[in-house]
Every structure is written in structure tokens, then in C-alpha cells.
Amino acid sequence: MRAVVFDDEKTIRNVLKKLLQKEGLEVETFESGTDALEIVERLRPEIVFLDIFMKDSNGIDILKKLVSLEDYPFVVMISGHDDYKYIIEAMRLGAYDYIVKPFDINQIRKVVNDIRKSLNSSPVFEKPSIDIVGKSSKMRDIFKIVGRAANTPEPVLITGESGTGKEIIARLIHLYSGRKDKPFIAVNCAAIPSGLVESELFGYEKGAFTGAEKSKKGKFLAANGGTIFLDEISEMPLEAQGKLLRVIQEMEVSPVGSTNTYKVDVKVIAATNKDLIKLIAEGRFREDLFYRLSVIEINIPPLRERKEDIPELIELFTKQALEKHGLKKGGFTKDAIEYMKNYDYPGNVRELKNIVFKLLAIHRERPITPDLLPDYIYSGRKIESSFDWKESLKEEVKKLINKNRKNIYIKLISDFEEVLLKETLRHTSGNISEAAKILGIHRNTVHRKIEELNIHIKERDETNN
């Protein structure tokens, strides 16, 4: 297998060459991308590592040329830029992956091994593609899938907790697709009365039912040529699910009360915060509809799992709030943002946005300092069910068991005692008698544990030793 590297940084070229050679590849490196197309056509590599910005050339322009080749290679973009726009554009154009510098060596190895496996079959590049932010690795992975999903007609299923931004991702797919100039129709399935789902989605003829005084075009016909977003798909009645499945398969609709059918060309994106597999087992969701909708599946992680995105989200929402309230200045101090990063946001991105807008509406152009944050953030408290220490302990026990560790009872009890004693003694400034009262044990026991666990107390009250 052969690889070609285009990067104007000598260090990157050398590192990649040595690494790829260790993986058994023949490697050629080039500082300039000016003749990239000619070089690739001549060397016929299976993999091309391509810097997105070089002194004399643009990696995106080169990517466009490479994917126009009849038998084009796997192209892996490498860049110091982790802006989502570059990631989506590269994946939309047909890049195999997008790796941000400084890259993890294991990440390169994984890409190479994945490509090696793929070479057993013909490589398929699904040309992938409102504003959204997120530079965490989890969000970068989502942008990659968005890029691949944007230019395929297949349905997309977006899952995730409430408030994670499922509709924003749906709109992003639409925006980067060839349908961006056509309608984007969002439908909240939970908000439609069960008896009206069909008429809302597929339309109805005049006189089809009581109150149908004139014909109405359904959401699918309204979205023709564009995208329909079916939010809270899990709330759709079973009978309507069957008719939706038929529409997706046949791409034609028949309004209620009509014998006519109409062809439609619609990209279907569905979303849910429910476990559809569980609903299938309970007989509340059709299995065949699930498999038809989940051809491409995107799971959006909760905000607590990508806290590195919080500062950028705060900046985005601050700009929006300033514009909405007509303010020239205002925002959050670094200290306030640090506190906000430590909160778990049960309501996810929606909750964060609400907090930012609310604080700026109240305090206007005054800098938002930690003391102005809601108590549950500033004090470090988590509101209901944001953290379960027992679950964390359970995970730690599982981890130790899986690693075949011995004496885990002694280890965990010792760790627990050490934390408990240290924090209590810190609170009492080293006063052993006071700590004993708080803990509900004899002061001699506290003293013995201090010695056993080798706990050092900065301000121990010597009169209580």
C-alpha cells in the first residue's frame, strides 16, 4: 500500500513518513501541493494525507480535483484548523477523514488500518455537508457524519437527550445539501393530535372529514424538493407510522379523502430523545420504520460529555443576546465561565442558552461575574440527578474487576476513607476533635487513620493530638 503526504511543515512530513513506514506503507512526501493532481495520477497511492492550508496551495481546492479522478484515493485532511466549517466542507467533498494537528499517532494508525480493511472492496465516498459551534472531538465526529449525510437522499435519524440541538443538526444537514434552496419543513409529531397526523403530513381533500371546508396541502408536499424534519418521531401513532413508512419507501403521498397520489422528492430527517429499540420491544414503534429511518444515525452527546464546547457556546449565545437586547457590550468573565464549565446542564445546550440570555437581560452591560450566576452553578451544586456518586462508584468497581485487580475492597475503602478524612480535616483546619464530631467517630480513631493513611495536615491543632 502506498501513501503520499502533502504538507509544508517538514516536521509533520517526517513524522508521518516514519509512522506510515512502520505500518508497512511506501511513502512519498511533498512540501508543495501545486502539482498534487499530477503526482497522485503518477504514483497512484491508496492514501493521500493532505494539509488543508499550505503556503502555495489550498487543500480544499486540491481535494476537489482529487475526488474528480475516476479511481480516486482515500484522502485524509490534516490541519491545524478545527473550525467546523472546514470539517463539514472537507467531508462533504469526499474526504475520508479530517484529523486536527497536533494529531495522535494512534489516530493515524487507526485511519490507516480502517482504510486497509476498506481496500478489500471498492471504496465508496458519499459526498457529504444556522450556525453551530463545537470543537470537541465528539462534535467533530458529528460534523463528519453531517458532511456525509448532506448529499445522500437516504433518511437520517438524530438521537439525543432533550435540548442537545437535534433540530439544529437537521438544519445543518439541509444547509449543506443540494436542497438548501428548497423548503425545510419542521414537524413536531408530539404536538399533532393523534387523529390528525395523516392529514397534517399528507394533506386532505375538501369534505374529507367534518371541518375540511377546503383542500389542504400536507407537510410532505410542502417540503417537496427539500427536507422534512419529523421531531419526536417516537410520539407518532402506530397506524400513522405504517403510512409514513410507505411514503418513505414509495416517495408518493395520497391526501386523506383523495384517490390521487402525488410523487414527492423529500429528504426525511427524524429525531427522538427516546430509546426506539425499547419502544419496539414494547410494541409502540414499528421495527421496519426504525430501520428505514436509521440508514444514517447521528447521536448527539449531552453537554456534560463535551464541556470543552461550553466557552464557545457561551460566546455564541452572548453575541445573540447582545444583539437581541440592543446592547453594545456585556458578557461573562473568565472566572464565571470556569464555574459554568463545571455544571452538568440537565437541560443541555437549551439550558445553557437560557442562562446566558436571562443573565444578560437582567444585568445588561455589566460584566457577568461568578457572584451573579445562579446559586446552583456558583455554589458548585448540581440540580436534580446531574451527578450520581453511586453510579460513578459502580463504574469504578466494574473497571477494577475487568482489569483483574485484586484486593479491590481494601483499595476502595482506603481511598474512600482518605478522601473523607482529608476533606473533613480541611474543613476543621486540622482540628481532630471537631472532625471526630462531624464524622461521628472517636477522636482516637481519627488520629489512628491519619497515621495509617499518612495524611498530612497543614494546620493541625496540636492541642488535640
Long-range pairs for 451-455: beta carbons < 8 A, 24 or more residues apart: 453/414, 453/417, 453/418, 453/421, 455/418, 455/421, 455/422, 455/425
Give the separation between CA 335 and CA 437, rounded to whole angstroms. Answer: 35
Same domain, 55 and 152: no
Q: Decide if 130 is inside a domain.
A: no
Gap between the terminal Cα atoms of the chain: 71
Ramachandran category for residue 65: left, alpha or beta (phi over 0 → left; psi -120 to 50 → alpha) = alpha
pLDDT at position 458 is 55
Same domain, 256 and 308: no
Q: What is the mean pLDDT of the chain?
A: 85
Same domain, 292 and 151: yes
Same domain, 290 and 312: no
Span 188-240, pLDDT tens digits = 998 888 778 888 898 888 876 666 677 888 899 999 999 999 999 999 999 89
Peptide bond into 45 cis (omega under 30): no
Among 43, 36, 33, residue whose Cα is nearest residue 1: 43
Same domain, 158 and 295: yes
Q: Which of 282, 300, 318 is the last residue of a domain?
A: 300
AA letter at 266: V
Report the residue count for the chain: 465
Same domain, 85 and 213: no
CATH of the domain at 323: 1.10.8.60
Q: Decide if 138 is inside a domain.
A: no
pLDDT at position 282 is 93
160: DSSP letter:
E
pLDDT one digit per residue (tens) for the chain, 465 residues? 899 999 988 989 899 999 899 888 999 999 998 899 999 988 989 999 999 888 888 989 999 888 888 677 889 999 887 788 888 888 888 888 899 888 888 888 888 887 887 665 333 323 323 557 788 889 999 999 999 999 899 999 999 999 999 999 999 999 999 999 999 999 999 888 877 888 889 888 887 666 667 788 889 999 999 999 999 999 999 989 999 999 999 999 988 887 788 999 999 999 999 999 999 999 999 999 999 999 999 999 999 999 999 999 999 999 888 888 777 777 898 888 988 998 999 999 999 999 999 998 887 767 888 888 888 886 544 444 444 567 677 777 877 787 777 788 887 888 888 888 888 888 888 888 888 888 888 888 888 888 887 787 654 444 444
Same domain, 154 and 271: yes
Q: Decide if 359 is inside a domain.
A: yes
Give the separation between CA 148 and CA 152, rounded to whole angstroms. Answer: 7
Rg (C-alpha) for the chain, rounded Å, is 29
Quickly tell me which residue has 482515500 as its cell. 74
Same domain, 344 and 452: no
Same domain, 16 and 37: yes
pLDDT at position 176 is 92
For Cα atoms 10, 94, 293, give the angle at the middle one, nearest 5 degrees: 140
Same domain, 294 and 311: no
Same domain, 289 and 155: yes
For the chain, the domain total comes to: 4
Residue 453's domain comprises: 392-464
pLDDT at position 129 is 34
Question: What is the enclosing helix (H) or strand (E) of 162?
Answer: none
Among 77, 68, 70, residue whose Cα is nearest residue 47: 77
Q: Decide if 383 is inside a domain.
A: no
Same domain, 310 and 241: no
pLDDT at position 414 is 80
